Structure 1
Amino acid sequence: MSLKIGWIGCGRHATQMLLPQLTRCGVRLEAICDVDRTAAQATATQYGVAHVTDDYAALIAHQGLDAIGMAVGPGIHQKASIMALETGLPVFMEKPPALDSTGARAIADASERTGKPVIVGFMKRFSTGNKIAHNVINGGDFGPVLGITGIYMTAPTYFVGEVDYSGFFLHHCVHYMDLVPWLAGAPIVDMALRKNEPEPGKLLLHVNITCANGAIGTIVMGTVQSRGTPMEQIVVMGDHRRVEVNNIIDVTYHRNPAFKADDPAATLTGETDSLTWRPNFTAAVNEDHKGYHALMIETVAALKGEANNAPTIADGVVAMENLERMMALAG
């Protein structure tokens, strides 16, 4: 039987990224909500949904729902998710879960109290390249993670009118506050920061971290690059091991190959030489390398009460705590 979902929020991100992937996972959209009734009706028409409202409380109260999904904003995420939980409905929400860690903890408390899961949309864990890197690191041969470098950039135009950087921190930086410790395999226990702000709205941060397992790292984030260029890079260091992910779709795993210049029998070996993966974009298949489809598969399993690897509100609390520490250092 299909999971019947009530959905809150019909903006561009929800309609172009989330709902197309969610509806591939054997669910039925039963009710739609947005304060913009035109946007709500357009989404309802696209998915054949009869019940449309501009009141999220009315949507949550709609009879026959099995779960609530939402991509609205951190303030509404907190209010609507707690309301849904207290109605007995599990929740999927896009990140960030709330405006601050206190709000995220309030959701986590409600989830524990009601026994209903809350899944947070940290899709970076499910991006193909990051997934491969995580599996390599945890495959048994990589050994302990010694260091990690992450670069995740965006442009100043993405945050026009928000020169306090609130949108940049909450909607952009929060991703790597979850992804980097997930790849490192341990929570962040120490953090320092340097910044360069050439003018209001343009910011470059270098965030230095130490994780509980001893891994050290640097996270570079800022609003000083064009969104038309590659925006992401991850490098995870081990002992004579290194996995690199460029732009989420180009993965190289370096080991400890022999020098080849003076070896007349030089060849390539799967045991020591570097391995590289790139996707085939000419294949006529609906592959989602950004990770939304894989996230939704895990989300639907979680909402059904099945075994899953979906990021939970507990992960959201940790990411928000990391983010607040970083924001405090950034001043």
Structure 2
Amino acid sequence: MTIRIGWIGCGRHATWMLMPQLARSGFEIVAVCDRDEAAAHAAARQFGATEVYGDYAEMIASARIDAVGMAVGPEVHYRATLAAIARGLPVFMEKPPGATAAQAEELMRASEAAKVPVTVGFMKRYSTGNRMAKRILDGDAFGPVLGIHGSYMTAPTYFAGEVDYTGFYLHHCVHYMDLIPWFAGAEFADVQLRKSVPGPGRMLLHMNFACENGVIGNVIMGTVQSRGTPMEFVQVMGDQNRVEVENVINLAWHRNPPFKAEDPQATLDPGCDTLVWTPNFTAAANEDHKGYHALLLDVAAALEGRASPAPVIRDGWLAMRRLERMIALIEG
């Protein structure tokens, strides 16, 4: 089955990262919407849409579509999703799912009451290295997760003129407010935070936490690193087990190997030595290691009412609650 989708927001992120993956994932883009008329018509030409709108409310009310997708801003995510739910149209929205946790909760209540699926673009769960790491953690060989360290940096590119960290929180930090508890398998119980602000628009955060299931850890986020440097790192520790994911693609599983130097018969043992994986970027294959394609395959299943692990609006609400808890500690 092909899902006829109407898409809101034809900016760079949508047209480079999301819309190219829709056709591979079971969608047909039949309508596009953007306040920028030139951007909307360019997207329509590129992706074969036959209907072009400048008003999302008109598209939701009038377009011949089965679902609505969007990558705009948090306020439009909130208002457009409410409009889609009212028409009975399932939704895929890029994160964040609103400007506040209260907005995300309202969307969750509306979605659940109307039984209209609303999914959220937490693609970090689907990035190749993260997805493989989670399968290791969920397998019998790893054992219980004990601790997690995460680092997710960016440059001060959110700020022009007056410093406002809202975009950094909503578009950047919210990812790890979803990803880290997903790896831990439990909600944050205790959260503490330290910050360093060496200049306007430059912030470094160290957040340490304990989860309800006993997992402990810390997350580093900030705006003090060039986007040209490695941006992400996740390390998950168990008992004689450690999984590390660098930049969502390079994966290493460290276990409990013997010492090698004094054993003349030493070799590599796949049963206990470190396993390492990294993609072959020279291969002529259209692989999406950031995770959008894999995410949208699960989104398609969810929007059709089939069983799916796709992140839903309840996941978005929980991530926003965690984010607002973190912001309160920053500003307190």
Given the two structures, how large is their TM-score scaled by the length of structure 1?
0.98
CA distance in 1, matches of 2:279, 2:270: 19
CA shift in 2, pair 1:69/1:325, >3 Å:
same
Deviation string 1:247-306 (CA, Å, 9 cap, x unpaired) is: 111110001111111111111111111100000111101000000110011111111112
In 1, the alpha carbon distance for the partners of 2:107 and 2:311 equals: 14
Match of 2:258 in 1: 258
Structure 1's 161 and 183: CA in aligned 2 closer, same or farther, altered over 3 A?
farther
Three-state SS of the structure 1 residue aligned to 2:132 is helix
Partner residue, 2:104? 104
Please give the alpha-carbon distance, in whole angstroms, between the structure 1 residues aligned to 2:243 and 2:56. 44
- 1:275 corresponds in structure 2 to 275
Deviations 1:92-113 (A, max 9, x none): 0000001110000000011011
Q: Distance between the aligned counterparts of 2:263 and 2:160, measured in 1?
A: 57
Equivalent residue letter for 1:23: A
1:113 and 1:159 map into 2 onto residues whose CA distance is: 39
Asked if structure 1 preserves the Cα contact closer than 8 Å seen for 2:51 and 2:63, the reply is no
- 1:305 corresponds to 2:305: yes
Secondary structure of 1:235 counterpart:
strand
**Residue correspondence of structure 1 range 50-199 to structure 2 within 5 A:** 50-161=50-161, 163-199=163-199
The CA deviation at 1:160 is 2.8
TM-score between the two structures when normalised by the length of structure 2: 0.98
Counterpart of 1:42 in structure 2 is 42
Is 1:233 aligned with 2:233? yes
Pair 81,162 (structure 1): closer, same or farther in 2 beyond 3 Å: farther
| Shift in Å, 1:164 | 2.4
- What is the DSSP-based 3-state SS (H/G/I as helix, E as strand, rest coil) of the residue aligned with 1:106? helix
Matched, 1:318 2:310: no
Structure 1 alignment gaps of length 5 or more: none
How far apart, CA to CA, are the structure 2 residues paired with 1:162 and 1:141?
A: 51
C-alpha distance in structure 2 between counterparts of 1:148 and 1:42, whole Å? 43
Give distance in 2, aligned partners of 1:162 and 1:35: 25
Over residues 4-37 of structure 1, what are the superposed CA-to-partner deviations in whole Å (9 max), with x where a residue is unaligned?
1011000110000000011212311111110111
State how far apart, in whole Å, the 2-side matches of 1:142 and 1:160 are.
45
- The Cα shift of 1:154 comes to 0.2
Asked if the contact 2:206/2:221 (under 8 Å) is kept, the reply is yes
Instruction: Give unpaired runs (5+ residues) of structure 2.
Output: none
**1:194-213 residue pairs with structure 2 within 5 A?**
194-213=194-213
- What is the CA–CA distance in structure 1 between the aligned matches of 2:160 and 2:144, rounded to whole Å? 41
CA–CA separation in structure 2 for the residues paired with 1:63 and 1:292: 25
For 2:22 and 2:187, locate their aligned partners in 1 and report how far apart those are by CA, in whole Å: 30
* 2:31/2:63 contact within 8 Å kept: no
Q: 1:133 to 1:292 in 2, by over 3 A?
A: same
Distance in 1 of aligned mates of 2:122 and 2:166 = 18
Give yes or no for contact 2:22–2:28 (8 Å, CA) kept in 1.
no
* Contact 2:4 2:29 survives alignment (8 Å): yes
2:17 maps to a residue whose letter is: M
* 1:22-69 alpha-carbon deviations (Å, 9 max, x no partner): 121231111111011110011011122121111111000124311000
CA distance 1:161–1:126, change in 2 (3 Å): farther
Aligned-CA RMSD value: 0.9
Give the counterpart letter for 1:177 in structure 2. Answer: M
Matched residue type, 1:137? L
| Count of residues in Structure 1 that have an aligned counterpart in Structure 2 | 331
- Distance in 2 (CA, whole Å) between partners of 1:294 and 1:236 is 23
Q: Tell me the secondary structure at the aligned position of residue 272 of structure 1.
A: coil
Q: Distance in 2 between matches of 1:93 and 1:74?
A: 10
Using the TM superposition, give the Cα deviation of residue 162 of structure 1 relative to its aligned residue in structure 2, in angstroms. Answer: 5.7
Three-state SS of the structure 2 residue aligned to 1:61 is helix
Name the CA distance, whole Å, in 1 between partners of 2:145 and 2:27: 38
Aligned mates of 1:28, 1:245 — CA distance in 2? 33
Question: C-alpha distance in 2, partners of 1:65/1:57?
Answer: 13
